Amino acid sequence: MKGTVHYEVKKFCAILTIDNPPVNPLSSGVRQGLFDLIERAQQDEQIGTIIITGAGNSFIAGADISEFSGKMEGAPLPAVLNRMESSTKPIIAAINGSALGGGLETALCCDYRICNQQALFGLPEVKLGLLPGAGGTQRLPRLIGAEAALDIMLSARHVKPSEALTLGIIDAVAEDDLMEAAFAFAEDLKNREYPLRKIRDLSEHQQQDKNKPGIFDAARRLAEKTARGQRAPGWIIECVEAAVNIDDFDKGIAKEAENFFKCFKSSQRKALIHVFFNERNAAKIPDIPKETPRRDIKKAAVIGAGTMGGGIAMCFANAGIEVTLLDADQEGLDKGLAKIQKNYELSLAKGKLKQSSYEQRLSLIKSSLDYQELADADVIIEAVFENLALKKKIFEQLDSVAKSGAILATNTSALNIDEIAQVTSRPEDVIGMHFFSPANVMPLLEVVRGAETAKGVIATAMSLGKKLKKVSVLAGNCPGFIGNRMLFKYMEQASQLLLEGALPQDIDGALQEFGMAMGPFAMHDLVGLDLGWRERKKSGQSRDIDKVADALCEAERFGQKNGRGFYRYDENSRQPIPDDIVTSTIEKVASELGIERRSISSDEIVQRCIYALINEGAKILEESIAIRSSDIDIIYIYGYGFPAYRGGPMFYGDKVGAKQLIEDFTALEEQTGQTWEAANLIKQLAEQDGSLTKWQRTSV
């Protein structure tokens, strides 16, 4: 069995320490240990009080998610919790770190909860497509009220000790040593009457909440907005409604068990657990051992004070790292700094940032027009616009000023890292660090490995990403790397569909219904249509699928920036409004190209766009541009708004199956007259009945 619980007697207390590193989940050995040792403490006459705590820095991180796919051994969690609740001796939870999911639910079955300053509380099961299934949906509303409990469950957020105390989740926060405070608490309990009233028997909040049915409507509206397409939030709300409306606690628990089972069986749960583990797997690079020495990053610099550069500078300041923002001219620098200040002021006004943090972050951002001032930076990230010649020039300058050992990174989203590295005398120090806009908000960092990038530089960039609170994924060097290379194919399909008969709102609507955060044309409007158009004009090369965007640009429709593009926008609004002028432009371009437009279903739109992603993803795997298919999933979920509850494009492709994909490609060829050549990897997997999600390389 996995994990253990230690038993130690101190004073008149039995201390049960959960030991299951690194985060103490409730694995088989932990559940069985708790069950047996609670029993032992009941029998032990010298014991007056039981204290449960965690070894290391975590209390209990919840149920062991890795056990969900196999046969469960050891005592079931409900049996452990029942044993705790029926204890004849008081139980104190001494919470020394994360008490999440089943961890908080265990603590709620104790008589008292005391914690240190490092503790964190939460019921984040919704992020795994689950609901708190060990009494959390019934106990937390009884303890703190339905509204606060729903907020914690639906947001999956972590609650800090001071808020937990205010809400009533815990009884005390230890000022110094947690165990000393727990003993003092136990001592004090001697003077109190026992048994105490259990949370299951509390009814004050329940009675008050019966008069507030609006709480549930509001929660449903919020879930519809923030968790569109997900099933677990609705089932959580139902459980909390049961906690309020059904007086019999055990009946509420039965409702929770019924809904937990529905979640457990759902494909969304499987997809979200795939995301949970593979977000962490992305940090593991087979040919770069975790002991690889990292370079020390104390000072950073960012070149280019535009939206991207400013956002990256904010990431450093947010992580407490001093950063110098450099631009070619004072006007650009002033504009960039003003934007940063405005962003922080907004956070301050919304109460998301304290005054002291606001001041500290701004003070960490320096500015300069002089490359010489970057001489002491440990990492320099170039974030100017996508022009290879300009980037090469900047790297030549960096090569002459940067100190030895500094990491020279480019934020390019598609250009050749090796070409950039070659203009320096130190290609081993050059790497791609592709942030997503707005960089201070978007959680993804695509780290791009050049042919000569040193392993220590890659390891440092990946760790730096974590420090900047990003999910970092390593990609190999090719046009567009992983994310944008796939996006090109996705956009090609979307643009083709436009010519064949669909309108921007049809395509965006179908893909949003599938779960994408934003449709391709609303995204195109956000990014701006003019940059690509100018490039095409310069090169004199425009494909048929670019002709609609070209025509819109000729009519000065550049996207959100001037209030009209594939849609029109009211002043100060980002809400896309379909526009008849766009419809007639598309029809005109299609007719000029001799395309007879037809009616296109939402299913066809989704199939063609998502299959384009899957097929290109498979080619990327074949060419070792990605280490594993789940890395592609993580990039799409965190960088491109792919619905996490579908597990990412490759996980979705696996669900369809390689054989079916090939059959569908053939059908698409017949239907559209386009070439739908399956990636060799898909052909190979179809023959071997293999799986995309299990595919892994040793390097990129």
Contact 383, 395 (CB under 8 A): no
Q: Please, which residue, 18 or 454, has the CB nearer to ligand 3H9?
A: 18
**Beta carbons within 8 Å of 543's beta carbon, 6+ residues apart:** none
124 counts as binding ligand 3H9 under rule CB under 6 A: yes
Contact 434, 411 (CB under 8 A): yes
132 counts as binding ligand 3H9 under rule CB under 6 A: yes
174 counts as binding ligand 3H9 under rule CB under 6 A: no
480 counts as binding ligand 3H9 under rule CB under 6 A: no
d(CA 491, CA 204): 55
Contact 365, 319 (CB under 8 A): no
And the tokens for 460?
């440092």
Burial of 47 (0-12, 13-18, 19+ CB in 10 A): middle
Q: What's the distance, Cα to Cα, between the start and end of the chain in Å?
A: 36
65 counts as binding ligand 3H9 under rule CB under 6 A: yes
For the CB of residue 449, give the shortest distance to ligand 3H9 in the complex, in Å.
Answer: 21
And the tokens for 404?
């030895």
Catalytic site includes residue 125: yes
For the CB of residue 123, give the shortest distance to ligand 3H9 in the complex, in Å.
Answer: 7
From residue 519 to residue 558, what is the string marking binding to ligand 3H9 with x (rule CB under 6 A)? ----------------------------------------
101 counts as binding ligand 3H9 under rule CB under 6 A: yes
- # binding residues, ligand 3H9 (CB under 6 A): 26
d(CA 286, CA 513): 37
Q: Please, which residue, 127 or 299, has the CB nearer to ligand 3H9?
A: 127
For the CB of residue 128, give the shortest distance to ligand 3H9 in the complex, in Å.
Answer: 6
And the tokens for 321?
């790292």
77 counts as binding ligand 3H9 under rule CB under 6 A: yes
Cα of 305 vs its chain's centroid, Å? 26
Contact 696, 622 (CB under 8 A): no
- Which position among 85, 111, 125, 327 is part of the footprint of ligand 3H9 (CB under 6 A)? 125
631 counts as binding ligand 3H9 under rule CB under 6 A: no
Q: Please, which residue, 3 or 576, has the CB nearer to ligand 3H9?
A: 3
Q: Please, which residue, 65 or 297, has the CB nearer to ligand 3H9?
A: 65
d(CA 166, CA 224): 29
- Which position among 50, 55, 64, 301 is part of the footprint of ligand 3H9 (CB under 6 A)? 64
Q: Please, which residue, 14 or 63, has the CB nearer to ligand 3H9?
A: 63
102 counts as binding ligand 3H9 under rule CB under 6 A: yes
13-52: which residues touch ligand 3H9 (CB under 6 A)? Answer: 22-23, 25
Q: Please, which residue, 69 or 191, has the CB nearer to ligand 3H9?
A: 69
User: What is the dihedral angle through the alpha carbons of 431, 437, 439, 443, rounded to the nearest 10 degrees?
Assistant: -90
For the CB of residue 134, give the shortest distance to ligand 3H9 in the complex, in Å.
Answer: 4
129 counts as binding ligand 3H9 under rule CB under 6 A: no
**Residue, CB closest to ligand 3H9:** 101
Helix (H, G, I), strand (E, B) or coil at 14: strand
Q: Please, which residue, 20 or 318, has the CB nearer to ligand 3H9?
A: 20
134 counts as binding ligand 3H9 under rule CB under 6 A: yes
Q: Single out the residue of 367, 372, 293 nearest to residue 326, CA to CA.
A: 367
d(CA 584, CA 552): 11
133 counts as binding ligand 3H9 under rule CB under 6 A: yes
Sole window of 96-104, 147-155, 184-192, 427-435 interacting with ligand 3H9 (rule: CB under 6 A): 96-104
For the CB of residue 63, give the shortest distance to ligand 3H9 in the complex, in Å.
Answer: 4
Q: Are strands 49-54 and 91-95 parallel, antiparallel or unpaired?
A: parallel
483 counts as binding ligand 3H9 under rule CB under 6 A: no
Task: Choose the catalytic residue: 39, 45, 73, 105.
Answer: 105
Sole window of 60-68, 497-505, 522-530, 691-699 interacting with ligand 3H9 (rule: CB under 6 A): 60-68
**Beta carbons within 8 Å of 351's beta carbon, 6+ residues apart:** none
For the CB of residue 61, give the shortest distance to ligand 3H9 in the complex, in Å.
Answer: 4
Burial of 176 (0-12, 13-18, 19+ CB in 10 A): exposed
Q: Please, which residue, 26 or 170, has the CB nearer to ligand 3H9?
A: 26
Q: Please, which residue, 109 or 377, has the CB nearer to ligand 3H9?
A: 109
Sole window of 56-64, 237-245, 480-488, 620-628 interacting with ligand 3H9 (rule: CB under 6 A): 56-64
Catalytic site includes residue 105: yes
d(CA 70, CA 520): 39
For the CB of residue 276, give the shortest distance to ligand 3H9 in the complex, in Å.
Answer: 7
d(CA 564, CA 570): 9
504 counts as binding ligand 3H9 under rule CB under 6 A: no
Which DSSP category does 196 fall into?
P
427 counts as binding ligand 3H9 under rule CB under 6 A: no
Residues in the chain: 700
For the CB of residue 3, give the shortest distance to ligand 3H9 in the complex, in Å.
Answer: 10
271-290: which residues touch ligand 3H9 (CB under 6 A)? Answer: 277, 280
- Which position among 37, 55, 63, 548 is part of the footprint of ligand 3H9 (CB under 6 A)? 63
d(CA 220, CA 227): 10
Sole window of 95-103, 346-354, 373-381, 562-570 interacting with ligand 3H9 (rule: CB under 6 A): 95-103
Task: Choose the catalytic residue: 85, 125, 241, 616.
Answer: 125
327 counts as binding ligand 3H9 under rule CB under 6 A: no
Q: Please, which residue, 10 or 466, has the CB nearer to ligand 3H9?
A: 466
For the CB of residue 137, give the shortest distance to ligand 3H9 in the complex, in Å.
Answer: 9
Q: Single out the residue of 524, 498, 480, 688 nearest to residue 586, CA to CA.
A: 498
- Which position among 33, 48, 62, 648 is part of the footprint of ligand 3H9 (CB under 6 A)? 62
Stretch (H or E) spanning 538: helix 530-539
- Can you point out the beta strands (E) in 163-206? 172-173
Q: Please, which residue, 62 or 252, has the CB nearer to ligand 3H9?
A: 62
66 counts as binding ligand 3H9 under rule CB under 6 A: yes
Which DSSP category does 566 fall into?
S
d(CA 515, CA 507): 13
Tell me if the bond preceding 76 is cis, omega within 30° of 0.
no
d(CA 16, CA 55): 10
Q: Please, which residue, 111 or 125, has the CB nearer to ligand 3H9?
A: 125
Helix (H, G, I), strand (E, B) or coil at 463: helix
User: What is the dihedral angle through the alpha carbons of 397, 400, 405, 406, rounded to the nearest 10 degrees?
Assistant: -30
Q: What is the CA radius of gyration of the chain?
A: 28
61 counts as binding ligand 3H9 under rule CB under 6 A: yes
Q: Taking the CA of residue 529 as centre, how many other CA atoms within 13 Å lie in the half-sphere pointing to its CB?
A: 25
Q: At what angle do helices 483-500 and 520-527 cross, to 10 degrees?
A: 110
* Residues assigned a catalytic role: 105, 125
* Interface with ligand 3H9 (CB under 6 A): 22-23, 25, 58, 61-66, 77, 98, 100-102, 105, 124-125, 128, 130, 132-134, 136, 277, 280
